[in-house]
Amino acid sequence: MPDITLPWFNDLDVKLFLITWSLCIPRLLGMALLLPVLGAQNFPGLLRVGICGGFALLVIPATAPHVPAGGLSAAVMAGIALKESLLGLMLGFLLAVPFWSIESVGFIIDNQCGASISATLNPFDGHDTSPLGVLYSQAFAAFFIATGGLTLVLGLIYESYRLWPVMSAMPRLAIENAPAWLGVLNGMMAIALALAAPAMLLMYLAEISLALMSSFVPQLQVFFMAMPIKSALALFVLAAYGTTLFHYADRDITGLRDAIPHLARLMGAP
């Protein structure tokens, strides 16, 4: 059996290894902070740090040769960790947009039919949302994992280490790129409204019908009738075009492949 030699591993310096490892983790932690699949409700702090630390091990061989053999000062390490965390947050923001848009579909529909009065906690990100928002968020998370979304996310985060190495300077952030970042949120809401539009249209027609009925039958308790009727119509529409909804969700997952070039453009890269 031929001998397998790993020069970098054989010459391993424990201090250098730990310094390099600690510098590779913040970017992954920043990304995991915003990505709902790795939310705090599913992975508590210490467990999430352990997962990110395991993923960061694969980046050490490419990063260690650029770390000074004598180590780094605490101030330099803090600056690098801050820069890496900011990069991770920006990447996590772009990766989380599809999750937020799908959850917003459920929240918009529940708000329209009045079910948002029973706001609940989203187990993925710990934020208040509606019952249908939780359902859609969990369904999309399962769909995301089943279609290889986690593998795609790992590929993107490792690609970011290639484009912006740990020991490199902070990429350029210009104020003129702020509208582009706001445009990402604008696109998220446009997608959410477009996907919720069929159910909203049917509920709007039902509300007009109930308003006309109440004008002819004043004794009719429209308020109490409207919520169950609109909820039933919304669920019927969502069940009817659920396949179409997840077709667009799959397109959003595929579109995550452009997250790194998109992030580069948002930073002002040509």
How far apart (Å, rounded) are the C-alpha atoms in residues 151 and 232?
37
Phi, psi angles (nearest 5°) of residue 172:
-70, 130
Burial of 20 (0-12, 13-18, 19+ CB in 10 A): buried
Spatial distance between the Cα atoms of 119 and 253, rounded to a whole number of angstroms? 27
Question: What confidence tens digit (pLDDT) does each residue in 161-183 have?
Answer: 888 888 888 777 767 777 877 88
Q: Higher confidence at residue 27 or residue 262?
A: 27
Compute the distance between CA of residue 138 and CA of residue 194 in angstroms, rounded to an integer. Answer: 20
Cα(196)–Cα(216) distance, integer angstroms: 31
According to the model, what pLDDT value does residue 202 have?
Answer: 86
Nearest to 260 by CA among 131, 122, 117, 157: 157
Amino acid type, 233: L
Query: What pTM did the predictor assign?
Result: 0.79
| pLDDT(244) > 50 | yes
At 120, phi and psi to the nearest 5?
-135, 180
What sign for the dihedral angle of Cα 67, 71, 73, 78? positive
**Bridge partner list, 128:** 121
Which of 17-26, 61-70, 190-199, 238-247 holds the top average pLDDT?
Answer: 17-26
Dist. CA 59–CA 26, nearest whole Å: 12
Q: What is the DSSP string of 107-171?
A: HHHHHHHTGGGG-EE-TTT--EE-HHHHHHHHHHHHHHHHTTHHHHHHHHHHHHHHHS-TTSPPP
Of 44 and 52, which is predicted with more confidence? 52
Name the nearest CA neighbour of 230 among 108, 92, 119. Answer: 108
